[in-house]
Structure 1
Amino acid sequence: MVLDNIEKLLEKYENGETTLKEEAQLKNYFSQKIVAPHLEMYKPMFQYFLGNQQEQFTKDLPLKPKKRFNYKWLSVAAVAVLMIGFYFTTSIIDNNCNDLGTYCEPEEALEEVSKQLAMISNHFNKGAQAVGYLNEVDKGTATLGYLNEIENTTKIIFKK
């Protein structure tokens, strides 16, 4: 009767359906010296659980206070960034517009863009002329297509 009860408890234990009292019964059964031979494989597991229950952590944990963020240095850094920003913006405004590769007058900018686009167009046209021979290759492949049609008709003729 006790063995049947233990087997039912083991089945419930494997399915994760046991209560703490039922698990205590299993631990007590497997802590005995004599266990049913077909349940011997569970004995080391429950003995390990009993041994683990008795373990305690004995080392001291040093608890350090959490470091606080120093907001004074944050304000000093913010002031430094603002001062550097003001210095560089005033020096840029004082210098010519051409120092940064930009144009002050919109007409100058339009003229320069026109020159650059004309240069790109010339280079593109040279490249397109170099590839012009590909049209001749396309014509040649079209004539080969006609040869395939002739071959298909000869196959039809000789098959009949």
Structure 2
Amino acid sequence: MELYKIEKLIVKYFEATTTVAEEETLREYFSKESIAPHLEQHAPLFNYFTKAKEERFTKQVPLKPRINYLKWVSVAAIAVFMFGLYFYQPTPAPVTLADEYTQEEIESAQEAFALLAMNFNKGTEQLYHLEKFEKTTNKFLTKK
């Protein structure tokens, strides 16, 4: 009768429907010397859980870190600062047009820009006439 009960409990165990008391019954059965031959394959599983329950962590856990990180962070910050100082290149002061070109060159450039603006305005006037032409043409084409 007990063997039949153990077999049913193993089936329930692998279906994950056993209670804690039923699992304790399985652990007790597999801790004995006399186990049915067809159930011996399950013995290491339940014996492992029994042994694992007895294991304890005995090492001491340090509450303070052993390495002083603040010291290494300050060394790294100084290294980055020195690296930046070594490769620092100051930017030159901005150059004005008067420093770069003579007054005559500036005046000739202004004259050229004025001529360009005048010709550009003439081109835009032609576009205005073209726009008027397009509007009147569309009136005749869309008339029914």
TM-score normalised over the length of structure 2: 0.47
TM-score normalised over the length of structure 1: 0.43
